[in-house]
Amino acid sequence: MASGIVFEEIECKSIINKTNTPGLDFNWSINPYRGCQHACVYCFARGTHEYLGYDSGRDFESRIVVKINAAGVLAEQLRRPGWRRETIALGTACDPYQQAELKYGITRSILKVMLQYEQPVHMLTKSPSVLRDIKLWSHLARTTDAQIAFSIPTLDGAIQKKLEPGTARAAKRLEALRQLVDAGVRCGVMMAPIIPGVTDDDGHMEEVARAAKDSGASFVAPNVLHLKPGTKEWFMPALREAYPHLTSRYEKYYRGPYAPKEYTERVLERVAELRDRWGMGKTPALPLAPRGQMKLDL
């Protein structure tokens, strides 16, 4: 236990999750941890903590499940004759490089196994701590399809402190992105989530796109905030405290989990224009928040 954080060490029976969400570019995912110390108030994965009997609020941020045997189990699964080396998305319900990784190194051990088996991997993170494994990622990139997407919804430090208080500054993430690109790793930026009334203006989005390009990103991919059960109950009080003038708008927009289709399409079109202007690619294979549910391992 550290600074109020409880680490729950478990041994998992399997580590590769089969997704059951139509339309995705990947069918498999791995989450080295459950819960996330980054404490993003908008995190779409909060509701998954309720499957463990914990709440999606403080428990999600402070009760971190650690899969201590993940690497060994992964090696067993990758050795199976039926495994076809399809791309695995690393970190769809947690950040693989959250603070727990500094203590346990589960993600590093998983990547070593993936390198051994030349396993294609795409990862999403907010953490510059990935640089501790830059040599490993460089080897992976030379061996197989390995790429990293950094989640950067804003460069505004004040907004970041309100909405993702446990994360490193966006500038640090961009510095990490540049170093990884220089080491031969394909990287991009997930402009996600785009938060209505907070980060959806042209100035915000253009600033992120420009910074991504300047840092060597190959792609920029957007995703508009959605509020499923488990997340909405945590996000709305934070919104009322930080941006009370937006409360009525959100009550109108988020009667269900997703913002209105017309609004979402308009925002995505704007990001597409920015992407074209700065000469970057389209959405990578790894989305920040896939619609539907994933079969979760334990």
- Each residue's pLDDT tens digit, 220-278: 999 999 999 999 999 999 999 999 999 999 999 999 999 999 999 999 999 999 999 98
Q: Which residue has the tokens 């989005």?
A: 205
* Tens-digit pLDDT profile for residues 66-119: 999 999 999 999 999 999 999 999 998 999 999 999 999 999 999 999 999 999
* Tens-digit pLDDT profile for residues 21-52: 544 567 899 999 999 999 999 999 999 998 88
SS (H, E, C) the chain: CECCEEEEEECCCCCCEEECCCCCCCCEEECCEECCCCCCCCCCCHHHHHHHCCCCCHHHHHEEEEECCHHHHHHHHHCCCCCCCCCEEECCCCCCCCCHHHHHCHHHHHHHHHHHCCCCEEEEECCHHHHHHHHHHHHHHHHCCEEEEEECCCCCHHHHHHHCCCCCCHHHHHHHHHHHHHCCCEEEEEEEEECCCCCCCHHHHHHHHHHHHHCCCCEEEEEECECCCCCHHHHHHHHHHHCHHHHHHHHHHCCCCECCHHHHHHHHHHHHHHHHHCCCECCCCCCCCCCCCECCCC
Q: Is 0.75 topped by the overall pTM?
A: yes
Torsion of CA 267, 98, 94, 51, to 10 degrees: -130
What's the topology of domain 24-277? TIM Barrel (3.20.20)
Is-contact 36 49, C-beta < 8 A? no
